[in-house]
Amino acid sequence: MSSSNIESKANQNTAYLHNDVLYVPNDVLEDIAEELGIDPTLVKKGKRAAASASLVKQLASMIADVGTDNHAQAGVAERIHAKELARKLRGEAVFDSTSVYAPDGGVDAVIKTADAEFKLQVKHLAEQVGDATTKEYADIVDYLASTSGFRESADPTAHGIQGFSKADWSWQGRTELRRHQFINGIRELYIMARSGLD
């Protein structure tokens, strides 16, 4: 089964996130095992054993951790932050550009509500956003979003903007990011396995 078929299965909303653990359907795990040259019957046998449940969860989380790439997932994080903020504000997310790296003057999306528009800048970094970065966007955006949150010393409201983080996301938003990381992890492991055979 190709990576695109695995991605298609994982995108059927059957994977979900609970307590920051990604749960992946057994048929997807079996396909991944087959792709990586592991006997899929091991996964079938494992799912019958109560003790293996945590092992399968750990495997799924390890694959997602391998697939965590903040640079590659910047566009995904921007879309999720915008959708989640739009949900919170009961508005619609509008993107001015199709490229995450396009010059945008610091605005990644605009959230339009019935009576207002809010400019959003997203920081998808491994580290929390500090006060200097918060201050940098004070006159540019209404909301500064950070996937990793904000340092204790950073208070966006002190600079006249609102902070928004992954902690404000719904479970669907967190699942979407983790699913993207999982699929990217499959690709990375597949590439590593292929390069080891060459």
Overall average pLDDT of the 154-183 stretch: 90
The answer to whether residues 165 and 190 belong to one domain is no
The answer to whether residues 35 and 63 belong to one domain is yes
How many distinct helices (H) and strands (E) make up the chain? 7, 7
The answer to whether residues 180 and 166 belong to one domain is no
The answer to whether residues 95 and 150 belong to one domain is yes
pTM across the whole model: 0.65
The answer to whether residues 82 and 163 belong to one domain is yes
Cα angle vertex 188, ends 182, 193, to 5°?
125
Q: Helix 171-197 crosses helix 74-89 at what angle (to 10 degrees)?
A: 170
Domain of 50, in residue numbers: 3-69+174-197
More confident residue, 126 or 90: 90
The answer to whether residues 62 and 79 belong to one domain is no
More confident residue, 11 or 62: 62
What's the whole-number average pLDDT of the chain? Answer: 76
Please choose, from the candidates 174, 176, 183, 192, the residue with its C-alpha nearest in 3D space to the C-alpha of residue 31. 183
More confident residue, 31 or 153: 153
The answer to whether residues 158 and 89 belong to one domain is yes
**Domains of the chain: total:** 2
The answer to whether residues 12 and 78 belong to one domain is no
Instruction: Give me 49's structure tokens.
Output: 């054993």
CATH number of domain containing 134: 3.40.1350.10
The answer to whether residues 39 and 86 belong to one domain is no
The answer to whether residues 39 and 82 belong to one domain is no
The answer to whether residues 50 and 81 belong to one domain is no
- pLDDT of the residue at 60: 72
The answer to whether residues 183 and 97 belong to one domain is no
What is the pLDDT confidence band of residue 76, given thresholds at 50, 70 and 90? confident
